[in-house]
Amino acid sequence: GTHSPGTRTWLCGVLAPPELQEKTLVLVKPDAVQRRLVGNVIQRFERRGFKLVAMKLLQADQGLLDKHYQQLRQKPFYPALLAYMTSGPLVAMVWEGYNVVRSTRAMVGDTDSAAAAAGTIRGDFSMHVSRNVVHASDSVETARREIGFWFQRDELVAWESGDQDYTYG
């Protein structure tokens, strides 16, 4: 065809503006890996149009989770949360796009899966607060910090998405 990569000059050809580069951390938690839900979760974010910029499967250790869940370390459920989050591998991902932090929280649903709306990831795939399938950063600032806990700077891939002019106006 005529569309070799070098001829796509009608696409923006420059880095996306900053508001299109907002990033969030999503974890597909160990229950979801065991239940083979990884693909389902990824598909939701791909379908929405967000851009995957980092992803890995790993076994988290307590040190990492203590940083990630700094705010929750005094909670009575924290030991159970640690046991859950270290019970098997999880998938860590960074998604990028316009308003991605807020949109992703809306797609994920209520922390308590029992209260999560149908159509959300938690509402569709889970029933109980202690096994709620995914994590998503709750603010742009939290996302920045959390991405730093889970990824090295060079594990984030900046790539130009060919459909950007069709995803955004």
3 annotated active-site: no
Q: Which is nearer to ligand ADP, 51 or 135 (CB)?
A: 135
Tell me the two tokens of residue 100. Answer: 């991605």
Helix, strand counts (H, E) of the chain: 8, 4
- Binding segment for ligand ADP (CB under 6 A), chosen from 1-9, 39-47, 86-94, 127-135, is 127-135
> For residues 92 and 27, is the Cβ–Cβ distance under 8 A?
yes
> For residues 37 and 124, is the Cβ–Cβ distance under 8 A?
no
- Binding segment for ligand ADP (CB under 6 A), chosen from 20-28, 30-38, 48-56, 125-133, is 125-133
DSSP state of 134: E
> For residues 23 and 147, is the Cβ–Cβ distance under 8 A?
yes
47 annotated ligand-binding residue = no
Q: Which is nearer to ligand ADP, 52 or 129 (CB)?
A: 129
142 annotated ligand-binding residue = no
Chain contacts with ligand ADP (rule: CB under 6 A)? 72, 77, 81, 111, 129-130, 132, 135, 138
The residues assigned a catalytic role are 135
